Amino acid sequence: MKIVKDVRFWASTIGVTLLGMLSGISATNARAYYQELTLPSFAPPGWLFGPVWIVLYILMGVTFYLILIHPSETQKKVMIPLFIVQFILNFLWSPIFFGLQNNLLAVVDITALWILLVIQQLYYLRHKPLAMWLMGPYFLWVTFASVLSYSILFLN
């Protein structure tokens, strides 16, 4: 299978996954801080976040690979920056929320991330539908995380 032999596939998938996990690792005392918060009734248990994010980062890595091999250079010039900026916003959320324990700034970050993901998903729908579907679970999780973040901001 050609895709499995393509180094860009593995570099994208593993690279995005590892970078994403670094964000969570860099968030010191995440478990303790999460347990101290007043959480809404729909807040998931803390242990769920790690496994969910691993799957989401793998899907994001595959998406990044699909963007890198996309045949249209013009479309790649839009898709690559969209992906990178959303990834940076994603990466920053954990250190802001857990490290700085700044719920307001975390809400600003995740709101910007969600808006960018809407734009990204619409662009992917038009130019790379498979990427849109691969990013769908991530978009849904960020939507849920946004509601959770706003709820935590208001409850605390």
Q: What residue spans define the domains of the chain?
A: 1-155
Residues 6+ apart with CB under 8 A from 114: 142, 143, 146
- In a structure prediction context, what are the per-residue pLDDT tens digits for the chain, which is 156 residues long? 566 567 878 788 888 888 888 887 766 788 889 999 999 999 999 889 889 999 999 999 999 999 999 999 999 999 999 999 999 999 999 999 998 999 999 999 999 999 999 999 999 999 999 999 999 999 999 999 999 999 999 999
pTM value is 0.90
Angle at 121 between CA 56 and CA 135, to 5 degrees: 15
CATH fold of 1-155: Ferritin (1.20.1260)
Length of the chain: 156
Residue type, 118: V
Alpha-carbon distance of 125 to 148, in angstroms, equals 27
Question: What local confidence, expressed as pLDDT, does residue 4 receive?
Answer: 59
Other beta carbons less than 10 A from residue 82's beta carbon: 17
